[in-house]
Amino acid sequence: MVLKIHGHAVAPLVRLVAEVCQEKEVPYELVNVEVYKGEQKTPAFREFQPFGQVPYIDDDGFILYESKAICRYIAKKYASQGTPGLVPHDPKAEALFEQAVSIETSNFYPFALGIATEKIIKKHRGLEPDEARVSVLLNTLNTKLDAYEVILGKQAYLAGGNITLADLFHLPYGTIVFEELAYDMLESRPNVARWWKEITSRPSWLAVKAKA
């Protein structure tokens, strides 16, 4: 049975799960969920994802939600195929990976998500963005990226010399902030710009973007 991703093709975290499937050469089927019509809030959907959010996966009857948990599951289950080392096994490498995941979770995701919410999600809901909040979020994210510049000046990726899920976790909302909304945060940070170019030019991510 082909792994099924329940979600909308352009939903950022659906794209993330699809990207990791591409990295690990895992065939998948996207089961469309009409999120702008609220299909994810229906009882039928909440039976499998009680929070009413996309995505969740069905892997031959195994149901799993929360995108980062899904990505870890895919990377570990299919460790022997596709891109190696997305979740390292060596204790020290794994610790550095977990550190990098925490960096994304605490210092990138909430601010990039907040910007996307104000500038895109509110628009789809017919609401006006809170530009004052956007300004605060942008200023905070800029400060965080200064630390990224230091880290990436010493190593190729956030967890060391090899790409991991921690890097890939930045793709969905980073693409929105840096590319779709075109906020210029990279030009003054050559190490971040180099890293961003590398992870966004991966065939796996380009394939997922092309399907949207």
Q: Which pLDDT tens digits describe the chain residue by residue (212 residues)?
A: 899 999 999 999 999 999 999 999 999 999 999 998 999 999 999 999 999 999 999 999 999 999 999 999 999 999 999 999 999 999 999 999 999 999 999 999 999 999 999 999 998 888 999 999 999 999 999 999 999 999 999 999 999 999 999 999 999 999 999 999 999 999 999 999 999 999 999 999 999 987 75
Judgement on whether residues 114 and 195 belong to the same structural domain of the protein: yes
- Element containing residue 32 per DSSP (H, E): strand 28-32
Could you tell me which of 22, 64, 75 has the C-alpha nearest to residue 199? 22
Residue 211 belongs to a domain = no
Write the CATH number for 68: 3.40.30.10
So what's the pLDDT on residue 87?
98
Q: At 63, is the secondary structure helix, strand, or coil?
A: strand
Write the CATH number for 152: 1.20.1050.10
- Angle between the N-to-C axes of helices 190-200 and 131-152, in degrees from 0 to 180, rounded to the nearest 10: 90
Residue 212 belongs to a domain = no
Residue 11 belongs to a domain = yes
Judgement on whether residues 97 and 186 belong to the same structural domain of the protein: yes
How many angstroms separate the CA atoms of 172 and 159, rounded?
19
Point out which residues pair with 30 in neighbouring strands: 5
So what's the pLDDT on residue 124?
85
Pick the last residue of a domain from 20, 52, 83.
83
Q: Where are the alpha helices (DSSP H) in 47-189?
A: 67-77, 91-107, 109-116, 122-124, 131-152, 165-168, 171-175
Judgement on whether residues 151 and 194 belong to the same structural domain of the protein: yes
Residue 209 belongs to a domain = no
pTM recorded for the entire structure: 0.96
